[in-house]
Amino acid sequence: MKRVSRIAAIILTIALLLSLVGCGASDGKTHLTFQIWDVAQRNAMQAICDAYTAQHPDVVIEVQVTSWNEYWTKLEAAAESNTMPDIFWMHTNQILYYSDFGMLADVTDLYADEDPNYYANHFSEISIANAQGSNGRMYGVPKDKDNIFLVYNKEMFDQAGVSYPDESWTWDDLVSASQQIYDKTGKYGYMAYNDDQMGYWSFVYQAGGYILTEDKTRAGFDQEGTKKGMEFYVGLQNYDWCPNQAYFAETAPGTAFFSEVGAMYIEGNWELMNKAVNFPNMEGKWDIAVMPRCPDPVSGDGRATISNGLCYSTAARGKTLEIALDVLKFFGTEQAQLIASSYGAAISAYNGTEQPYFDAFEKAGYDLNVSIVMDQFDYGVQNVNNAARPKWKSPVLDEMNKVYNGQQSLDSALANMQQIVDTETAKKLAGN
Amino acid sequence: MNKSIKLSLTARQEEHWGWIMVAPTIIGLIVLNLWPFIQTLYTSFCEHLGFGHYKFIGLQNYIEMFQNAEFWRATWNTVLFCILTVPLGLFLSLLVAMLLNAKIKGKGIFRTIFFLPMVCAPAAVTMVWRWIFNGEYGILNQLLGAHVGWITDPNFVMISCAIVAIWSNIGYDAVLLLAGLQNISKSYYEAASIDGAGKVRQFFSITLPMVSPTLFVVMIMRLMASIKVYDLIYMMVEDTNPAVTSVQSLMYLFYRESFVAGSRGSGSAIVIWTVVLIGLVTIIQFVGQKKWVNYDV
Quick: pLDDT tens for B48-64. Answer: 888 888 999 999 999 99
Q: How confident is the model at residue A58 (pLDDT cuts 50, 70, 90)?
A: very high
Is residue B17 one of the residues assigned to a domain?
A: no
Is residue B14 one of the residues assigned to a domain?
A: no
Polymer length of chain A: 432
Structural domains of chain A sorted by starting position, each given as residue range(s) with its CATH number in brackets = 27-143+309-353 (3.40.190.10), 149-306+385-431 (3.40.190.10)
Quick: pLDDT tens for A273-325. Answer: 999 999 999 999 999 999 999 999 999 999 999 999 999 999 998 888 999 99
Return the residue in A68, A101, A250 with the most chain B beta carbons within 10 A, the one to mutate for interface testing. A250
Query: Hey, are the CB atoms on B50 and A97 less than 8 Å from each other?
Result: yes
Q: Residue A215: pLDDT above 60? A: yes
Q: How confident is the model at residue B297 (pLDDT cuts 50, 70, 90)?
A: low
Higher pLDDT, B110 or A264: A264
Query: Is this complex scored with an ipTM above 0.85?
Result: no
Average pLDDT, chain A: 91
Span B255-280, average pLDDT: 92
Tell me the shortest Cα–Cα distance from B137 to chain A, in angstroms: 10
β-pairing, A305-308 vs A380-382, is: parallel
- Contact (Cβ atoms closer than 8 angstroms) between residue A85 and residue A381: no
Distance CA(A301)–CA(A295), nearest Å, equals 9
Number of H helices and number of E strands within chain B?
Answer: 14, 2
By CA distance, what is B150's nearest residue in A? A246
Q: How confident is the model at residue A28 (pLDDT cuts 50, 70, 90)?
A: confident
Is residue B53 one of the residues assigned to a domain?
A: no
Quick: pLDDT tens for A80-132. Answer: 888 999 999 999 888 998 998 899 999 999 999 999 999 999 999 889 999 99
Cβ-Cβ contacts under 8 Å, B153 against chain A: 246
Give Cα separations from A363 to A337, A342, A344, A367 (angstroms). 18, 10, 10, 10
Q: Total structural domains in chain B? A: 1
> Out of B70, B242, B263, whose CB is closest to A404?
B242
What is the structure's pLDDT at B40?
Answer: 95
Query: Hey, are the CB atoms on B262 and A391 less than 8 Å from each other?
Result: yes
Query: Hey, are the CB atoms on B260 and A100 less than 8 Å from each other?
Result: no
Q: Given CB atoms, is B130 within the 8 Å cutoff of chain A?
A: yes
Q: Given CB atoms, is B50 within the 8 Å cutoff of chain A?
A: yes
What is the structure's pLDDT at A22?
Answer: 45
pTM of the model: 0.81
Tell me the shortest Cα–Cα distance from B49 to chain A, in angstroms: 8
Query: Hey, are the CB atoms on A393 and B260 less than 8 Å from each other?
Result: yes
Query: Hey, are the CB atoms on A391 and B49 less than 8 Å from each other?
Result: no
Quick: pLDDT tens for B124-144. Answer: 899 999 999 998 888 999 999
Mention every residue, 6+ apart, whose C-beta is less than 8 A from residue A212.
A218, A219, A220, A384, A385, A386, A421
Query: Hey, are the CB atoms on B50 and A101 less than 8 Å from each other?
Result: yes
Q: Residue A187: pLDDT above 90? A: yes
Least confident of A182-196, A379-393, B160-174: A379-393
Q: Residue B157: pLDDT above 50? A: yes
Q: Given CB atoms, is B139 within the 8 Å cutoff of chain A?
A: no
By CA distance, what is B130's nearest residue in A? A250
Query: Hey, are the CB atoms on A250 and B151 less than 8 Å from each other?
Result: yes
Mention every residue, 6+ apart, whose C-beta is less than 8 A from residue A214.
none
User: Where would I find the beta strands (DSSP E) of A277-357?
Assistant: 286-289, 305-308, 311-313, 347-348
Cβ-Cβ contacts under 8 Å, A245 against chain B: 152, 240, 242
Tell me the shortest Cα–Cα distance from A292 to chain B, in angstroms: 25
Distance CA(A432)–CA(A200), nearest Å, equals 31
Cβ-Cβ contacts under 8 Å, B260 against chain A: 390, 393-394
Chain pair A-B, CB pairs under 8 angstroms? 74
Q: Given CB atoms, is B153 within the 8 Å cutoff of chain A?
A: yes
Is residue B66 one of the residues assigned to a domain?
A: yes
Domain assignment of residue B146, given as a range: 61-291
Cβ-Cβ contacts under 8 Å, A250 against chain B: 130, 134-136, 151-152
Quick: pLDDT tens for B94-104. Answer: 999 999 888 88
Q: Residue B11: pLDDT above 70? A: yes
What is the structure's pLDDT at A18?
Answer: 57
Query: Hey, are the CB atoms on A97 and B238 less than 8 Å from each other?
Result: no
Cβ-Cβ contacts under 8 Å, A262 against chain B: none
Is residue B285 one of the residues assigned to a domain?
A: yes
β-pairing, A311-313 vs A87-90, is: antiparallel
Query: Hey, are the CB atoms on A398 and B154 less than 8 Å from each other?
Result: no
Q: Residue A68: pLDDT above 60? A: yes
What is the structure's pLDDT at B1?
Answer: 47
> Out of B51, B238, B241, whose CB is closest to A80?
B51
Mention every residue, 6+ apart, whose C-beta is less than 8 A from residue A5.
none
Q: How confident is the model at residue A8 (pLDDT cuts 50, 70, 90)?
A: low
Q: Given CB atoms, is B43 within the 8 Å cutoff of chain A?
A: no
Is residue B13 one of the residues assigned to a domain?
A: no
Q: List residues in chain A touching B: CB distance below 8 A.
A: 73, 76, 79-80, 97, 100-101, 103, 194-195, 245-251, 390-391, 393-395, 397-398, 401-402, 404-405, 431
Cβ-Cβ contacts under 8 Å, A103 against chain B: 51
Cβ-Cβ contacts under 8 Å, B245 against chain A: 398, 401-402
Q: What is the 3-state secondary structure (H, E, C) of A138-205?
A: ECCEECEEEEEEEEEEHHHHHHHCCCCCCCCCEHHHHHHHHHHHHHHHCCEEECCCCCHHHHHHHHHH
Query: Hey, are the CB atoms on B242 and A76 less than 8 Å from each other?
Result: no
Span A391-402, average pLDDT: 89
Distance CA(B224)–CA(B235), nearest Å, equals 20
Is residue B163 one of the residues assigned to a domain?
A: yes
Query: Hey, are the CB atoms on A398 and B245 less than 8 Å from each other?
Result: yes
> Out of B52, B136, B263, whose CB is closest to A80?
B52
Least confident of A10-19, A139-148, B129-138, B154-163: A10-19
Query: Hey, are the CB atoms on A250 and B245 less than 8 Å from each other?
Result: no
By CA distance, what is B260's nearest residue in A? A390
Tell me the shortest Cα–Cα distance from B134 to chain A, in angstroms: 7
Q: Given CB atoms, is B171 within the 8 Å cutoff of chain A?
A: no
Q: How confident is the model at residue A17 (pLDDT cuts 50, 70, 90)?
A: low
Cβ-Cβ contacts under 8 Å, A405 against chain B: 154, 242-243
DSSP single-letter state for residue A405: H
What is the structure's pLDDT at A1?
Answer: 47
Query: Hey, are the CB atoms on A80 and B149 less than 8 Å from each other?
Result: no
By CA distance, what is A424's nearest residue in B? B261
Cα four-point dihedral sign B226, B230, B232, B236: positive
Is residue B39 one of the residues assigned to a domain?
A: no
Least confident of A165-169, A247-251, B223-227: A247-251
The CATH number of whichever domain residue B126 belongs to comes to 1.10.3720.10
Tell me the shortest Cα–Cα distance from B172 to chain A, in angstroms: 30
Cβ-Cβ contacts under 8 Å, B239 against chain A: 394, 397
Distance CA(A290)–CA(A153), nearest Å, equals 14
Distance CA(A78)–CA(A315), nearest Å, equals 10
> Out of A195, A246, A398, whose CB is closest to B149?
A246
